Each structure stands twice: as C-alpha cells, then as structure tokens.
Chain A
C-alpha cells in the first residue's frame, strides 16, 4: 500500500486539483484551491503537472505517515512543519522515506497550507476533477475532508535535485489587502454615491468566511434592485444583499443566485483573500476587464519566468 496514512486530519484538509470545470450545468461548483498561486508553486517545485492533485490544509494540524520513498513540498500559509520531529523549510522540496512522520502545525500567517507530493496524489476524478466539495459530497475520497486513518495513494518519486522558491518571490499574507474588482453585473443599480462608498471604505472579514463565500462588514451599500431572477455567479462575484454587507463568493459558491452584484474580485485577489481570516481588513479598487486581462497576463508571464532555485 504505497502512499501516506493520515494520523491527524487537521481542521479542514481537502484534496484538490485546479478545479472542476464544465459541470455548472449540473449545478456543480468549481472547487479547487482557494490560493491557486501557492498551489501552483507546490506542483511546479516538484516538476508536477499543473493540475496534479495536492492537499489544501485549512488552518493546519495535519500529520501523515509515509509508506513510500518520495518527494514533497509545502507552500502557502506559514506553519511550523516537521519531518520526524525536525523543522523543515516551506517553499522547498524534500524527500521522505517509508516510515517517516510529516507534521504541519497550525498556520501563523495565512490560513491555507498546500502539500504536494511528487507526481501528485493518485485520486480518481469525479466529473473531470479530483477537487473535494464537501457540500456536494463530490471529489477527493468519498467527497469528504480528510479523516484519521485515510490512505492517500501516490507513486514513488524521490528527487535527486531539490529546488526552492527564493523568499522575495513568495507571497506575503499580510492582514490587509486591496482587492481589485472588475465592475459589472448589476453595477448600474448602485448609484454613484453607493459605488463611491463601496470603493472608498475599509471592510473587515467576519468569522463567517468559508470556501463558499467571505462575509465582510463595514459601510452599508445599497442598490436600487427590487427582486431579481437568479443568474450564474462567477468566481469572486461580490453579492450585496439587503443588509448592505458584501459577500465575496469563492471557489465553492452556489452556481446561481439572486442577489445584486457590483462586480467580481479578480482571481489573483480571491487567492489573496482566501489566505485571510476574521478581523483582517480589505479595500476594493475598481478596474476594467481590459486592465484585469493585463494583470493576469503579467502575473502569468512572471510565474513562468521565475525559476525555482536549486538547493
């Protein structure tokens, strides 16, 4: 039985690939890693396929035992990580041997830690993806988060040469951020005054933030909409219900919904938001879809240009 056994599952450890696409017509959401930037680096540092299945360890607390000689890397939120009790570096590949214990402690900066193994975990896809969406009971193993005793299959892929991502290239998980918003959807139903208020106020994250949506609190914002038909919701859509408090819809959002939306946070910034927790504060900046396209292309080019360094 090659792979890993789960000793302690942690609070919310989920198997994910890049997400489930093309299944919205069945009512299935996208899933996928909240912080795709850290997820992508984990796979890249091991030379994995970009869509290889890795673990998103929400808040930490995971402990695994290896039954195989292979390689792994831990990225994302900063957490104390240990191999057989010895501290190890994140954002850097390592080898692990049969019988070894790997521990990821609780996150001290950021909230989602990513653990990738050489070649990825070997999980059968469901509707074209291995991403776990607990609400739908789809993906991962039995559609659920990791449980103690679970087996995580993978193949032996120890590395000869290890790599790391230099510190200046690693994301900063500060508790303040400006989220860029492509305005759209029902934007016209928010008066100029309401829009000004939204884009010039600070909002803080409530404790009701999960993989479906992040509920914020701050200045009330109101639209002129009186009832609307449910419509498709994309990643990052900012829904503002009658109480005037915005909700940023994340990877596990419902596919349709009937609240007015002022626009959508770009993916690079939902990734950033996904690493934040209650009490953190955000502001919003309005950008056009063309600017968002430029930002995406520049970030993509930078990712491809940044080379992992040999240890």
Chain B
C-alpha cells in the first residue's frame, strides 16, 4: 500500500497495480477502518479499482494528523476476505430485441448468441467502482470470449437498464444517457433511484450475478421496452 497526496485535503491510497476481487475486498475493509477510526474528520471517500481517495475536513483535522491516522487504519487491514461483499442477483432480459450487440459479440468470439448469454451469467462479478454517472457500477471482469471494445460511434441514447459490455467490464445503465458500450440485454431493477432508500441496490465491493428472465417476467418487474 502506498499513500500519496492528492490535494489540499485529500490523500489517495494505492493498493495494487491491477484490480482484482482480492484488491476490491481489501479496499472495502480499508474504507470501513478509515470511517471507524476517523469518522468526523472524513468528508468523503471514493473507492475505485485499486485505490481509495480519502477526503478530510480541514477545519476538523490537519494533514499531519490525517496521514498518521490513515497509516494506522491501513495497518490493521487484514488479508482480504474474498467472501466479503453482499451477493446481489440482477435479472436480465437477454434477447436480440433488448440486446442489439448480442450478435456482434457472438460473431467476434466465434460462439453462438446463446453462448454469450450463458457465459455472461456463469460467473460472479465484483463492483470495482461507481462513477461516470449516479449509480453507474463498473463490474469486472467478463470472460475474454465475450469481451468487446467500445462502439466506434457511441449511441446518443442508451435506455435505462441496458446491460452492457466494454472490454472486460460489464454494467447496467442507471438512466437514459449517451454511451458507447455494447448492449446485450435489459435489467428491470432500478440501479439508481434518488427517492428510494437505499438509492442503489449495489455498492463498491459487492458481488453480482446476472440471471436470465423472459420478456413477460421483464415487463412484470416493471421493465420498459
């Protein structure tokens, strides 16, 4: 672990060169320790792929004290518990109707569309980071056979709930937005709802599984086509 200055009231902790489930679990544990040990002095935390940004309150603490407390909080982060993080299952209506890039991905991988759908569901993903837009969770890593580069021309309008792949990451679009990821299905679960509590079904460090549903089930769960 390496602690660097990020700004006047922020340090960034680097945990590894690459993201992995183990690193993600370690970052979660560190974030919990930092909040428990320095609660009032912390303004905000940003966990990401292999780092944790710690923003502190200059009127309640100072860089000297925070650096010291940070090292203390990090020292007690144990070997990562891979089982950590809640398991969340997200339903997906996979189809040519809801996943315009299914055929493209199948063609690239030399597999069938059914294979793409099966491979996407067969593993657990880890929430590596949340950003880009409210509720946008970056999940890693997809099987190499269904990895796909971003579209050369991004779409002006990706529908809410679109399940997508870019390189070896997958995500569910929390709201209608422009986007360049490959769309393979639609998820009826709201990924970000400011009026619900919690406003997101997942958080960084959680484990995610996708599970296929049919068109009727998708509509019954509030999905829109």
Contacts and interface: CB of A to CB of B under 8 A. Distances in A.
B52 interface: yes
Contact of A182 (B8, B59, B200): B8
B46 A264 contact: no
B194 A27 contact: no
B47 A25 contact: yes
Interface of B: 4-10, 12, 18-19, 43-53, 55, 58-59, 62-64, 129-136, 138, 192, 194, 199-200, 203-204
Nearest to A267: B8
Contacts, number: 130
Contact of B131 (A230, A237, A266): A230
A interface SS class: mixed
Given A290-B63, A292-B8, A22 B44 contact: yes
A231 interface: yes
A212 to B, nearest CB: 12
Contact of A234 (B6, B59, B131, B138): B6
Contact of B7 (A24, A25, A126, A236): A236
A185 B44 CA distance: 17
Contacts of B59: 300
A296 B134 contact: no
11 contacts: A21-B44, A24-B46, A26-B135, A26-B199, A28-B134, A136-B134, A138-B134, A184-B4, A237-B6, A267-B8, A290-B64
Most chain A CB within 10 A, of B6, B49, B58, B62, is at B6
B51 A232 contact: yes
A133 to B, nearest CB: 9
Interface string A1-45: 000000000000000000001111111101000000000000000
Contact of B8 (A21, A30, A135, A293): A293
